[in-house]
Chains A and B, each alone.
Chain A
Amino acid sequence: MNILVYGLITGIIFGFLLQKGRVLRYDRQLGALRLQDMTIVKFMLSTILVSMIGVYLLKDLGLVQLSLKPTLLGANILGGLIFGLGWGLFGYCPGTSGGALGEGRWDAIWGIWGMLLGAGLYAEAFPWVKKNILPLGDLGKITIPQILGINHWIVIAVLLIGAVGLTRWFEKKGF
């Protein structure tokens, strides 16, 4: 099957699940950012844990390869801070804004235009960023198991236990 058809189908199912999880709403996104409503955090933790286990299982079986991006401390930290500022203002993120639009929250369209502009501005700034920001704290393509020098299943087990503890606390506190 055509790779574009795979992309479309994967997106449709993903958008379906995002909507069913009720995580596409401005109120929910702001609720997460203000640490008042953990619905999105629960959804994301669950997705990350399942993907983490699944991907490493398939990797151990030799069926998939990891797709690592380099750890660039300067760009990651600065970019994350800027992203958070924009996310708080917009109330949707690049992945969920289309979903918000799909369920009728059409204020997302303004942010989608904004994101197109932001992408264009980054393209203009890229030569400068490449020279001045990207080299800061360039650690290359690393993973947590690799820098700790331990088996990846130990890291997965620790993260799994941590996440279960965190979510149990969420449920107890009623977040």
Chain B
Amino acid sequence: MAKVLDKGWNPYLAGALAGLLLVASIWFTGKYAGASTTYVRAIGMVETVFSPERVKQTEYLMKEAPIIDWQWMFVIGIILGSFLSAAQSGDLKLKAVPDLWESRFGPSRLKRAGAAFLGGTIAMFGARLADG
């Protein structure tokens, strides 16, 4: 089943294995997967460098305190796991502008960077508002 073709694994199979992984995680550690809380903790760490007093007075940065926890390491792990998988299947390739983006908006890295930055800002605000 798990054929390592150029097209990758069957998405149903890879998804099911991810499901088993998440269940095992909940069973062994009680930890439910997530990602966006980590960005709150990370910006809290950045702000702590400049103004620790201010961070202490910001309710939300205290609610999701600037510490490294299970989810923080989970998010870091995703980067490593993806790197290992891509390297293993010869899929690792530096790419600054996605093909589909380039076909519609051209090869400008600056344009892509601007849209990605703005999009990331908006997406995270929405994700936190919706609470995950």
Please tell me if A158 contacts chain B, counting CB pairs below 8 Å.
no
A86, B130: Cβ atoms under 8 Å? no
- Chain B contacts to A: CB under 8 angstroms: 4, 7-9, 11-23, 25-36, 38-40, 42-44, 46-47, 58-61, 68-86, 89, 91-101, 109, 112-132
Q: Are B32 and A67 in contact (CB under 8 A)?
A: yes
Taken residue by residue from 114 to 125, chain A's Cβ proximity to chain B (1 for < 8 Å, 0 otherwise) reads as: 111111111111
A80 lies within 8 A of B130 (CB): yes
Name 29 interchain pairs, CB-CB below 8 A, sorted by A.
A3-B69, A6-B73, A7-B74, A7-B77, A8-B77, A8-B80, A11-B76, A13-B21, A19-B8, A19-B86, A21-B15, A42-B12, A47-B15, A47-B16, A58-B27, A79-B128, A80-B130, A82-B125, A83-B130, A86-B120, A87-B119, A102-B86, A110-B113, A110-B120, A114-B116, A118-B39, A119-B43, A121-B121, A122-B40
* Interface size class of chain A, counting residues whose CB lies under 8 Å from the partner chain: 35 or more
Tell me what chain A mostly uses at the interface: helix, strand, loop, or mixed.
Answer: helix
Kindly state the separation between the CA atoms of A120 and B43 in the bound complex, as whole angstroms. 6
Indicate whether A94 sits within 8 Å of B19 (C-beta atoms), given known contacts A4-B73, A6-B70: no
- Dominant SS among interface residues on chain B: helix
Given A102-B80, A105-B95, A119-B124, A90–B115 Cβ distance below 8 Å? yes
Are B129 and A26 touching (Cβ within 8 A)? Answer: no
The answer for the CA separation of A75 and B130 in the assembled complex, in Å, is 5
The answer, yes or no, to whether A169 is at the interface (CB within 8 Å) is no
In the assembled complex, the Cα of A83 lies from the Cα of B123 at a distance in Å of: 4
Q: Do B59 and A127 touch (CB < 8 A)?
A: yes
Q: Using CB atoms and an 8 Å cutoff, list the residues of chain A in contact with chain B.
A: 3-27, 30-31, 39-40, 42-51, 54-55, 58, 63-65, 67, 69-70, 72, 75-76, 78-108, 110-127, 129-130, 133, 167
